Amino acid sequence: MKRGETSLLPLEDAREAALFFVVGALCFLAALAALTAKSTYGAARAWTAEVEGEYTISLSDAAPQDALAATLLVQSVEGVDGARLLSEAEISALLEPTFGSRGLPADLPVPRLIAVTAAPGAGDIGRALTETLDEAGYTAAVDSHSAWAGDVRRMLGTARIVALGIVALLASTAIAVIAFATHAALLARRDIVDVLHIAGARDRFIAGLFERRFWLLGLRAGTVGALVALASVALLIAIARSSGNRSGLLPELTLDFPDLAVLVITPVIAGLAARIAAGITVMRALKSVM
Amino acid sequence: MTQLRPDIFDEAAVRLDAVTLRYDASGEILSGIDLALKPGSFSFLTGASGAGKSSLLKLLYLARPPSTGEVSLFGRPTSRLTRDQLSAMRRRIGVVFQEFRLLGHLTAYENAALPLRVMGRKEAQYRADVEELLAWVGLGERMHKRPETLSGGEQQRVAIARAVVTQPDLLIADEPTGNVDPEMGARLMRLFIELNKRLGTTVIIASHDLGLVRQINAPVYHLANGLLVKNAPEPGKASRRRGDGIEIKEAE
Ligand SMILES: Nc1ncnc2c1ncn2[C@@H]1O[C@H](COP(=O)(O)OP(=O)(O)O)[C@@H](O)[C@H]1O
Ligand SMILES: [Mg+2]
């Protein structure tokens, strides 16, 4: 506003404070859904990508030297980046949750495990591994991690669609609320609208007053909502970390580009929604008078 | 012999042809009104309270269309104008509302300057003029006060300042002196007469204050039962009229 020029619309009253709160809260929820969807999906993708090229081969009834020979054989299979025979200590560590720290029962036949890493871009080498080992006469089971990594990814994909749906629902609710509130504000300001109209103000001029007012309201409420959402996500991650959860699914606590995009886009969408709703409502109301 | 109507009708500042008005379910407030006001004329509209004076003026300042008939301003039938053309036409009209309709959050000065802002004028250009006008209507000291802190008469003068600030081609005033003492009433009338004489503004003033109307020598249109009758000037008083001019008669 220019120096000394009072707005033709009165400054916000209680009604606008309530609307500010509602729009801010809706933006908070929408931004929270967007940020959660984004960071969960991002973390899951990083994790599944890491796990995708990994296979575990278990050999039953294999003598130590046979296992070593099998490992060398696996290393020669096309698309294999590395293969490593796990030591007994490693296997004990893996089985510890099941059998406790006292070690394995002496009479339990312990499988030999070979950890295989596929070369990047090699595709699925599970079948090639199985065939090679079968031909060489080993009794081997090849466990491809990608199978269940895929399940995790599909589940996360569904979760993301749900989150996007929630974002869309919240955005349309915000738009409807704003349209409703604009209508109420217009009725409350009917006196001003009438005086301006009779003074010869064009419809666009009057609509512009409301558009500017509601654009700023949406922008500010959206900024507050998005900032609070970002702070909440950061707080949740910080709490999860400090409580000792080191799961690879926890997203990094960094302000990356998508976060910033959510931070910027939420207020802009809220502002635009408010502005467009205000414009349409006012123009429509004015069309009903001469 | 067929003769076209005199052109004077086409250049009337205000012209009503068979205008009727009814609000929703109610009966006819105005029933078949014809009126033609020449550019630069000065007229009164009288009638009992509830006769429909304010309703008739609403048609003139384009707040609503007539139920039937045509309202033409400045030679143009308004029913055929686009919304933007109507807005442009409204800018040529100054209105003093019976209930003032000042904006409560603006100062007297800002209220008076409102039509200029609507026109897109810059404050630096109009400030001095608006201040001078407000001083003239006796609000020099109080121009930065909000309406709620002003008396009824002061608010009325702000409303009048707002109506004349653009030096409109047509001034429509609804009971503009209803809340001021006779002295201020005469002063405000002189303002309207000045506008009429100096700028050729067409003026129409609704009033049920016959005392005020009789002080000024001007045509009087009387509204009763939805019909408009033009009063002939009272005998003896017409003689005080010089040319086309308007003057305030001396107080008796
Ligand atoms: N907006 C409206 N809706 C319905 N009736 C109205 C409206 N405005 C005025 N009236 C009615 O029209 C009649 C004339 O009113 P008005 O034009 O204000 O008369 P005046 O100005 O001469 O006192 C009154 O009976 C009034 O109740
Ligand atoms: Mg009236």
How does pLDDT run across A33-71, given as a tens digit for each residue? 888 777 777 767 676 766 777 888 888 777 778 888 888
Which residue ranges have their beta carbon within 6 Å of ligand 1?
B 23, 26, 29, 47, 49-55
| Ligand 1 atom at shortest distance from the alpha carbon of B208 | 22
Contact list, B92 vs chain A (CB under 8 Å): 200
pLDDT (0 to 100) of residue A34 = 80
**H helices, E strands: number in chain B:** 7, 10
Helix, strand and coil content of chain A, in percent to the nearest 5, comes to 70, 10, 25
Contact list, B144 vs chain A (CB under 8 Å): none
Q: What SS3 class is residue A128?
A: helix
Across the beta sheet with A80-85, what order do the strands follow?
A: A80-85, A112-118, A54-59, A140-144
| Mean per-residue pLDDT, A213-218 | 89
Tokens 């009229």 -> residue: B241
pTM of the model: 0.73
How does pLDDT run across B10-37, given as a tens digit for each residue? 578 999 999 999 998 778 999 999 999 9
Residue nearest to atom 25 of ligand 1 (CA): B50
Q: What's the length of chain A?
A: 290
Residue of B21, B70, B83, B165 to mutate, testing the A interface (most A Cβ within 10 Å of its Cβ): B83
How does pLDDT run across B193-213, given as a tens digit for each residue? 988 998 899 999 998 878 888
Given B64, B84, B103, which is nearest A195 (Cβ)? Answer: B103
Token readout for A149 is: 């990594």
Contacts of B178 (CB under 8 A, 6+ apart): B98, B156, B207, B209
| Mean per-residue pLDDT, B222-250 | 63
Distance in angstroms (rounded) separating the CA atoms of residues B138 and B136 = 5
Residue nearest to atom 4 of ligand 1 (CA): B23
Average predicted confidence (pLDDT) for chain A = 80
Cross-strand pairs, B231:
B220
pLDDT (0 to 100) of residue B6 = 47
CA distances from B54 to A48, B64, B204, B206, B215 (A): 77, 12, 12, 8, 22
How does pLDDT run across B112-150, given as a tens digit for each residue? 999 999 999 999 999 999 999 999 888 999 999 999 999
Distance in angstroms (rounded) separating the CA atoms of residues A133 and A122 = 19
Across the beta sheet with B170-174, what order do the strands follow?
A: B93-96, B170-174, B202-206, B42-46, B220-224, B227-231
pLDDT at A253 over 90: no
Residue nearest to atom 27 of ligand 1 (CA): B50
State how beta strands B42-46 and B220-224 pair: parallel
What is the CA(B225)–ligand 2 centre distance, in A?
15
ipTM value for the complex: 0.87
Q: Domains, chain A, ranges and CATH?
A: 14-49+149-287 (no CATH), 53-144 (3.30.70.100)
Q: Cβ–Cβ of B95/A192 closer than 8 Å? A: no
More confident residue, A188 or B237: A188
Q: What SS3 class is residue A16?
A: helix
Token readout for B147 is: 């309406």
Residue nearest to atom 18 of ligand 1 (CA): B54
Q: How many CB pairs under 8 A join A and B?
A: 64
Distance in angstroms (rounded) separating the CA atoms of residues A126 and A121 = 14
Distance in angstroms (rounded) separating the CA atoms of residues B14 and B168 = 14
Q: Hey, which of B19, B21, B22, B26 would you mutate to test ligand 1's pocket, going by the most ligand atoms within 8 Å of its Cβ? A: B26
Q: Cβ–Cβ of A196/B118 closer than 8 Å? A: yes
B83 contact A CB<8A:
yes
Distance in angstroms (rounded) separating the CA atoms of residues B123 and A89 = 86
Residue B115, classified by CB atoms within 10 Å of its CB into exposed (0-12), middle (13-18) or buried (19+), is: buried
Given A192, A196, A198, which is nearest B61 (Cβ)? Answer: A198
Given A2, A4, A201, which is nearest B87 (Cβ)? Answer: A201
